Structure 1
Amino acid sequence: MNEGYGPRAWVVWGVGLFCYAVVVMHRTSLGVAGLEAAAHFGTTPGVISTFVVLQLAVYAIAQVPIGLLLDRFGSRALLTAGALCAGGGQVLLALADDLPMAYVARVLLGVGDACIFNSVLRLLPRWFAPRLVPVLSQVTGMFSALGQIAAVGIALPLIQGFGWTTGLLLAASTTLVAAAATATLVRNAPAGEPTAVVVDPIRKIPANIAEVVKHPATQLGFWIHFTAGFSMNTFVFMWGMPYLMVGQGLSQLAAAGLFTLLSAASMVAGPIMGALTAKHPLRRSNLSLLVIGPLILIWAVVLAWPGRAPLPLLILLVIVLAVNGPGTGIGFDFPRTNLPVTRLGAANGVVIAGGFTGGTLLILAMGIFLDRIAGGGDYTAEHLRLAWLLQVPFFVVGLSGFLLSRRRLRRRMAADGVIVPSWREVVERIRRQRGTR
């Protein structure tokens, strides 16, 4: 922590974390209450998946514009506005009786949600020392797990206990608390220090966006977030619960337990991932490959398993998915260390769009595929297994983008005098060091 900021830094960050967890609870509410939503609107889970697709599409598309607003107005304003917008979306969804109004509600939620995580990330370089930022960034992302747990433990019981409208309204009230707390307690920077906001002429905005997007650090961050994030987002936001219940024959209680395990495992993995990122800054991209590789492998085993997969294998699946949640956070470290702080809002917005763009496209593709293969009937376990195989081209595209952008970034780093040694050179250096002892 920067000297002199004292407990205030932790208060500012803590309030941002609370706001983030609250909004994530609302973001993931349809992922755990999709069947209740289908019953309320008298439609199929496939149609309900379009709610999530719309919400996540808005979230992804809004990231760069929101990032520009964040660079201009700072975290406090965006956190407050985002919480109120997300809460308004949930209130409208609670009162909606038809699909068009429900779609408008998800748009509002998507816009509000897009304001939150990036705003909390932008606080960290202003309030904490650089050596702590990678770990605190991962801990920030970890609080999405608390939001997911709250969706299972708060939002879903409220909807089941009080009905769709009353339950959602009660849950939405938490956003008022979050908005009030951020408006009162969050500050963009410590007293007496510049707030690091930028006010560019409007004519320069397109060129500035292009500069941020073209930077290989931003592109590598995007592809890391995409490849590590699309599968988990699809699982958490829409198709995980139906897959566990219909595809694997678990009860709702057992499936909810696996969702809770996923959230808890993500919370454990986050600080570890942050510490490794901080300790090995030249091996951050390799670390991301070490979390993406097992994800591809475990999905291959689960989807190839004849019949229902054994519970230990499903537990392993959700744990690996959980680790890839913090794995997406590695992507933010590349813009942070290669771009000026005044551009981090826009750059982080591009990175965040990665996993959510992939998740949105996969949720949509799976929904269309399932509705067509089921012919309007109920989904079967085989239908869901085939639908999850649609991940394959996403992994291919993601890894290709990852490798190409990493090569460009390393060439740029080399031009600046920063050389990433090969593994052979690392092993040889370790061998020589041991030989001199």
Structure 2
Amino acid sequence: MSQPELVHDIGRRRAWVIWLVALAVYFLAVFHRSSLGVAGLLAADRFDINATSLSFFTVLQLVVYAGMQVPVGVLLDRFGSRAMLLAGLVLMTGSQLVFAFAEHFAVAVLARAVLGAGDALVFVSVIRLVTLWFLVRQAPMVTQLTGLTGQLGAIVAAAPLTWMLHQLGWTRTFAAVSSVGVVLLVLVLALVKDTPYRSDGATEVKLRALVESMKTVWGNPGTRLGMWSHFVSQFSATVFALLWGFPFLVQGQGWSPAAASNLLMVMTGFVIVSGLVLGAVTARFPFWRSWTVVAVVAAIATVWTVVLLRDEPSPTWLLVVLVCVTGIGGPTSMLGFDLARSFTPVQAIGRANGLVNVGGFVASLCVMALIGIVLDLSEPGGMDAYDLDDFRAALAVQYVFWAFGVVQVLRFRRRAIAHLERVHPGAVEQMRAGRPFVHPGIGTEGL
């Protein structure tokens, strides 16, 4: 199959402009997604709910997010990133506005579900733009920068949002932040283009062929290696930042809300630094990506073990280490998309990335829900009654997911290597030598 005509330079100024606009949309999506992390205690007050109901907010949001990833991948390959970013902005802006004025739990839950749907359209759309607009040698670092810069939204959802909620109140704060989506709608319409090639960059997926195409993508062990890498590395950081980190620090460790918000900002700042290092390492040593995942998960589990074994509040230095090491899981999960890119032609990259993205969010929502259930079982008195022992028992559910995820990563690493040796002779040796393997369907512009 001949390569379509290239009409814009790959990896040059236009590519960076398109990426920055798309990145701003992802930034906003992460902000909306993380906003309940620091507003959780206020939400419990506003809607008169317990820990299980509070976790249901975020769990439902992530259920919708994860459940939409496969259909979003298909739609992305069909319609392209620009249309998906626009649809995501419309859904997120409208839902956050409804959330601002919601006074009943059911209305607020519906708003967060719609927010999850809008959020689901964004990230994989940005990753597809990276795949199409950047050179293969640039892609690992740009992918990391995407995840890391997007996570600045979590910083804005920490201390500054806490300040806004205190100064402006619930309704005015969430109404104000929802308006940012209108500005980004205009920028996406004006500046984002799906592909540097003359073709529209979208692959029509007929319904009759859809099941077979998904079987092919799912049957590739590289897709599942990416998914399990995302599964095992992402959930601990997501659970901590999105919901249970703030209550753990305030109720379990005795920190003030302001100090807890600042520590979440430290976590996100360290995520950015560690992600840059991971991006460079990934580009230099592509063969060792899955072992990097295993090493990071082992480090996260070790630090959590030290903290959870203590029957008294941990010293400040130990909690700083905890949030920094836990935060590394975020950029590590991005290796899942880089792994999928090595195994998937560009015509199917949306579907592969959608499947990869399911992993971490399924793990996150399961862990969030289980933590809320364990907390309510150990202390029926509600949010104000939880103490350190309650959190120690609840947060221990993470170990089951770490162990299962690592086993799956090692299992599919073996299968993925065997697949490359069989289907693409020389690919494994190429990656061992520190050179990226380019799937034949992507092209060779980056070599």
Instruction: Flag whether TM exceeds 0.5 (same fold).
Output: yes
Is it true that 1:394 corresponds to 2:416 in the alignment? Answer: no
Partner of 2:386, secondary structure, is: coil
Matches within 5 A, 1:412-427: 412-415=419-422, 416-418=424-426, 420=428
Specify which of 205, 216, 219 is matched with residue 221 of structure 2.
216
Matches within 5 A, 1:237-248: 237-248=242-253
| Preserved contact between residue 140 and residue 338 of structure 2 (Cα < 8 Å) | yes
Specify which of 182, 185, 196 is matched with residue 179 of structure 1.
185
TM-score under structure 1 length normalisation: 0.93
Partner of 1:198, secondary structure, is: coil
Superposed CA deviations along residues 27-81 of structure 1, whole A, max 9, x for unmatched, are 0000111011111112224311110000011111111111111111111111111
Distance in 2 (CA, whole Å) between partners of 1:8 and 1:319 is 34
| Preserved contact between residue 148 and residue 275 of structure 2 (Cα < 8 Å) | yes
Is it true that 1:17 corresponds to 2:23 in the alignment? Answer: yes
Per the alignment, residue 28 of structure 1 pairs with: 34
* Total equivalences in the alignment: 421
Query: Which residue type is aligned with residue 77 of structure 1?
Result: A
Distance in 2 (CA, whole Å) between partners of 1:317 and 1:388 is 13
Per the alignment, residue 65 of structure 1 pairs with: 71
Distance 1:49 1:267, change over 3 A: same
Per the alignment, residue 105 of structure 1 pairs with: 111
Unpaired runs of 5+ residues, structure 1, are 427-437
Query: Which residue type is aligned with residue 185 of structure 2?
Result: A
Partner of 1:193, secondary structure, is: coil
Distance in 1 (CA, whole Å) between partners of 2:321 and 2:200 is 44
Query: Which residue type is aligned with residue 388 of structure 2?
Result: A
Partner of 1:188, secondary structure, is: coil
| Preserved contact between residue 253 and residue 313 of structure 2 (Cα < 8 Å) | yes
| Preserved contact between residue 11 and residue 138 of structure 2 (Cα < 8 Å) | no
Distance in 2 (CA, whole Å) between partners of 1:298 and 1:420 is 34
Query: Which residue type is aligned with residue 420 of structure 2?
Result: M
Specify which of 172, 180, 187 is matched with residue 166 of structure 1.
172
Which structure dedicates a bigger proportion of its chain to helix?
1
Distance in 1 (CA, whole Å) between partners of 2:302 and 2:374 is 23
| Preserved contact between residue 155 and residue 171 of structure 1 (Cα < 8 Å) | no
Matches within 5 A, 1:308-387: 308-377=313-382, 378-387=385-394
Per the alignment, residue 294 of structure 2 pairs with: 289
Partner of 2:334, secondary structure, is: helix
Query: Which residue type is aligned with residue 416 of structure 2?
Result: L
Tell me how far 1:141 sits from its aligned partner.
0.3
Is it true that 1:256 corresponds to 2:241 in the alignment? Answer: no
Distance 1:100 1:121, change over 3 A: same
Distance in 1 (CA, whole Å) between partners of 2:131 and 2:100 is 38
Unpaired runs of 5+ residues, structure 2, are 1-7, 434-447
Partner of 2:117, secondary structure, is: helix
Distance in 1 (CA, whole Å) between partners of 2:251 and 2:335 is 34
Per the alignment, residue 435 of structure 1 pairs with: none
TM-score under structure 2 length normalisation: 0.91
Superposed CA deviations along residues 175-219 of structure 1, whole A, max 9, x for unmatched, are 1122221122111012x5334311021111111112111211110
Q: Answer with 199-208 or 104-113: which moved more.
A: 199-208
Per the alignment, residue 209 of structure 2 pairs with: 204
Distance in 2 (CA, whole Å) between partners of 1:11 and 1:283 is 31
Distance 1:5 1:313, change over 3 A: closer
Distance in 2 (CA, whole Å) between partners of 1:84 and 1:219 is 31
Tell me how far 1:145 sits from its aligned partner.
2.1
Distance in 2 (CA, whole Å) between partners of 1:48 and 1:144 is 25
**Percent identity between the aligned chains?**
38
Query: Which residue type is aligned with residue 282 of structure 2?
Result: T
Partner of 2:158, secondary structure, is: helix
